[in-house]
Amino acid sequence: MSETATIFIVDQDKAVQASLTHTLQIAGYAVEAYASCRDFVENFRQPKTACLLLDLHLQDMGAWEPVAFLEERDAAIPVILTTHSGDPNLRSNYAGPGTMALRENPSTTICF
């Protein structure tokens, strides 16, 4: 039997967490939501199939710290960065190893 893919959501906005969790669970994914990078790092366990939706503007760590944490553990998990900012420089500033896309809330997705 195959393992259900896990989507990790790290976003301090409870409404965003709730909305994404509900939508992804309806689509058949297992979801783990965290309000901080620290909570994510402290509770992380490596599933076979996963993805990380990471808010760029969290207070406790920079966006690259959870990505570096995953790389240190050889966790090949794609990362989708999310933001409420409309800054056109975000694409070039945050295109990096392990990052697959930048999702501007509420709707635009930019693939790298």
pLDDT at residue 35, rounded to an integer: 92
Number of domains composing the chain: 1
pLDDT at residue 91, rounded to an integer: 54
Closest CA to 81 of 59, 60, 61, 105: 105
Instruction: For residue range 23-78, list pLDDT tens digits in order.
Output: 999 999 999 999 998 999 999 988 888 888 888 777 666 667 787 888 888 888 88
Strand order across the 79-83 sheet: 30-34, 6-10, 50-55, 79-83, 99-104, 108-111
pLDDT at residue 110, rounded to an integer: 41
pLDDT at residue 55, rounded to an integer: 82
Q: Per the domain annotation, does 1 fall within a domain?
A: no
Instruction: For residue range 74-112, list pLDDT tens digits in order.
Output: 888 888 877 765 555 555 555 555 555 555 555 444 433
Specify the CATH number for the domain of residue 45: 3.40.50.2300
What is the Cβ-side half-sphere exposure of residue 46, based on CA atoms within 13 angstroms?
Answer: 10
pLDDT at residue 73, rounded to an integer: 85
Domain that holds residue 95: 6-111
